[in-house]
Chains A and B, each alone.
Chain A
Amino acid sequence: MLARISPQTLRILALLAVVLAVLLFFSTQVPNYLNGRLFNRISSSVAIMALIACGQTLVILTRNIDLSIGSIVGFVAFATGSLITNNPELGPVLLVSYSIILGACFGVVNGLLVAFLRIPSIIVTLATMALFRSSLVEYSDAKSITTGNLPEWLISFPNYKVLTFGTLQLRAGFLVAVLVVIAVHIALTHLRPARKLYAVGSNPEAAEMAGINTKLVVLSAFACAGALAGLAGFMFLARFGTITVVAGLGIELKSVAASVVGGVNIFGGSGTVIGALLGAILVDLIDMSLVRWALVSEFWREAVLGTLILLSVAADAILMRRLIALRVAREKTTKENAP
């Protein structure tokens, strides 16, 4: 049976096992832990990170990294909030499009610099991270967006209950994020242009020889990541209502963590956005549980979070190796037994 499962599916199964293990562990440590509320908390909070990790994954697949993604989320959240505050009559479609297009513009800036000026992405996006954040400080004029000035539909949208099972709620924000991730996943597995991301990531020279315009592919990866970050910015605004210049600070590293924990190869070429979604869930789960774990003080939490991320990646890697070894062994026996 194992032989029929692809390595990517195996990886996702392994991740699910780690998520379960973490849940079990903390349920023995934290009072009032395993209940519907926990699901509501994690799902609402992960809705934003899932989109960002998904965008980050697209970039990582092409052997690049986007460190400016947190600044993009913050800027878009602020700009969208400012737009709707000044024009309260704007509809959802226009507002969401504005967020996505604005995010994509930031992504294009990154993409152009990386693809056409051939500057390493870690340098480019380190610089644009500061640039975008500073432009937000300038643009915001020390004002902040407050919930009171936002229309009701915007604030209530992420918490709209689509389905309810007891205390467990499936909310609109989470549903949207999951649908987007699934759509991106289908595109990556079935659409030829999207497959090029993998081609460029696994071997840029070969991809070029095969007639793929690698520059264009890298540019589009950054643009798509920007667009997804823009959508995340919209969701950020809807969820938190209050946006200051620190909005989205530190998200970039969390998104890299989520992708890598989710099995996306940091050297490009392999990984899935479903994995990144699970990675985001795992990181968020660990983070939220640690806050409630009395044993760990505030000052040690980050260190423990880092250690747990390392452990979960290691556990995932070991589990994967075992499973693959098992599969190879089985294939061998099947071959030997064949006449």
Chain B
Amino acid sequence: MKHFTKLTMAATLLLGTAGFATAEGHSVTLETGQEVNMVLLPKFLGILVFDQANEGAQEAHAELENPGELLFIGPTPENSTAGQIEIMTTAATQGQGAVMISNNAGDQIVPSALAAQEAGTRVVTWDSPIPSGEGEDVFIAQVDFGSIGVIMADMAFSILGGEGQMAVLSATPDASNQNAWIAAMQVALEDEKYANIELVDVVYGDDQAEVSYNRALALVDQYPDLGVIMSPTTVGIQAAAKAMQDEGLCEQVKVSGLGLPSEMLSYTLNGCAPEFALWDFRDLGYLTYFTAYGLASGQLTGDIGETFSAGRMGDYTIEEDPGRPGTKRILMGPFTVYTAENVEAAAN
């Protein structure tokens, strides 16, 4: 029943987007073979989901027969913020057609992004936007940020049986996507349905396994009645699940949040993390590439209401981002909730 509600919600979201498209009348089909050089810039290198996004972008690159170059470059992990700013600046001076960035630098990226736009480089964000929206052409939202909040609240609700304590284990304190999702969850929790769920704490594991592991244990020690740890990051969720398993706490404290099926398989099957959600990062890379290609080749203007066809994924429309007034987004959606029933199939 619960999954049915989620599916309906996802369908409503899709219908919403589709409805907008028909209202506008026509959908732009991008011409192939335009030469634009583009850069795909992840938060940092070496994380599986970003590599999957790159696979999706490469697929779109081949499909659109772009004779230009698609570079997948990113900073090393210890240098994420400064490295992103540097790569953005370099891309502008090189006259790249577009930079597709999963922003990990908060608003610190703004000056370099503005400079890039002035130099004629389009700035498309994906996965994690620029919080203020300054220097950003459009944000490709994987799912509606508000609906992530609802999904997380729902997973907590079902794991806790409607009543109990929940704590959040996030990534870095200044990751704009995670912060937006947590805020959305707090809004969702105000609903009467969740009146008996108490959010006791939000802690940060810096997207590092060892930090997240220790933070998860600290949460359990601090709140003896804790029922679920909600971790909206693929690194945090599995570190927390491992910590609960190592300490034999899985009966007491469940783990949930956003995770990769292949990494969460064993924890879902043994009950440490009975439910979690995620979207497809390959699709996200694919859609991001289509958008950036359209903007950089001048086929899309990037105005609100503009609809275009993103290959195998269908039509998408640029709309105002409800979470960040005055900025623009394209909503990908939906996402999948994984449980013991479907996780094995997705993991392989």
Mark A residues whose CB is within 8 Å of B.
Answer: 30-32, 37-38, 40-41, 45, 48, 130, 133-134, 136-137, 140, 142-144, 146-148, 159, 236, 239-250, 288, 291-292, 298-299
Contact = CB atoms under 8 A, between A and B. Distances in A.
Contacts of A242: 209, 235, 238-239, 242, 263
Most buried by B among A38, A288, A291: A291
Nearest to B202: A298
Contacts of B208: 246-247, 249
Contact of B265 (A38, A148, A245): A148
Contact of B222 (A32, A137, A239, A241): A32
Interface of B: 44-48, 50-51, 76-78, 173, 203-204, 207-210, 213-215, 217-218, 221-222, 224, 235, 238-239, 242, 246-247, 262-263, 265-266
Nearest to A241: B242
B222 A31 contact: yes
Nearest to A42: B214
Given A159-B246, A250-B78, A236 B238 contact: no
A244 B246 CA distance: 19
A146 B247 CA distance: 18
A240 B213 contact: yes
Nearest to B49: A142
Contact of A246 (B46, B173, B213): B46
Contacts of B207: 246
Given A142-B47, A147-B238, A292-B222, 8 more contacts: A41-B214, A41-B217, A45-B214, A134-B76, A137-B76, A142-B50, A147-B242, A246-B44
A256 B50 CA distance: 33
Contacts of A31: 222
B217 A142 contact: no
Most buried by B among A45, A133, A146, A246: A246
Nearest to B174: A299
B209 A240 contact: yes
A240 B212 CA distance: 10
Given A37-B221, A147-B266, A291-B218, A244 B203 contact: no
A37 B248 CA distance: 13
**Which 8 residue pairs spanning A and B have beta carbons closest together?**
A245-B46, A142-B51, A246-B77, A240-B209, A148-B266, A137-B46, A291-B218, A298-B173
Contact of B242 (A32, A134, A240, A249): A240
Contacts of A136: 46
Contact of B263 (A48, A146, A247): A146
A130 B210 CA distance: 20
Contacts of B44: 245-246
Nearest to A158: B246
A68 B284 CA distance: 35
Given A243-B209, A246-B77, A249-B208, A292 B46 contact: no
Contacts of A250: 78
26 contacts: A30-B222, A40-B247, A41-B221, A142-B45, A142-B47, A142-B51, A144-B263, A146-B238, A147-B242, A148-B263, A239-B213, A239-B246, A242-B238, A243-B209, A244-B48, A245-B45, A246-B44, A246-B78, A247-B209, A291-B218, A292-B218, A292-B222, A298-B173, A298-B203, A298-B204, A299-B173
A273 to B, nearest CB: 22
A294 to B, nearest CB: 9
Contacts of B50: 142
Contacts of B265: 148
A245 B218 contact: no
B219 to A, nearest CB: 9
B45 A146 contact: no
B69 to A, nearest CB: 20
Contacts of A288: 214, 218
Contacts of A40: 247
Nearest to B47: A244
B51 A32 contact: no
Nearest to B207: A246
A236 B262 CA distance: 21
Given A133-B78, A246-B207, A144 B48 contact: yes
B221 A38 contact: yes
Contact of B46 (A38, A140, A241): A140
A137 B210 CA distance: 18
A43 to B, nearest CB: 12
Contacts of A38: 221
B210 A247 contact: yes
Nearest to A78: B46
A130 B221 contact: no
B210 A142 contact: no
Contacts of A130: 76
A147 B266 CA distance: 8
A33 to B, nearest CB: 8
Contacts of B78: 133, 246, 249-250
Contacts of A30: 222
A268 to B, nearest CB: 27
B46 A236 contact: no
A216 B51 CA distance: 43
Contacts of B210: 48, 236, 239-240, 247-248
Most buried by B among A32, A40, A142, A244: A142
Given A148-B266, A240-B239, A249 B214 contact: no
Nearest to B51: A142
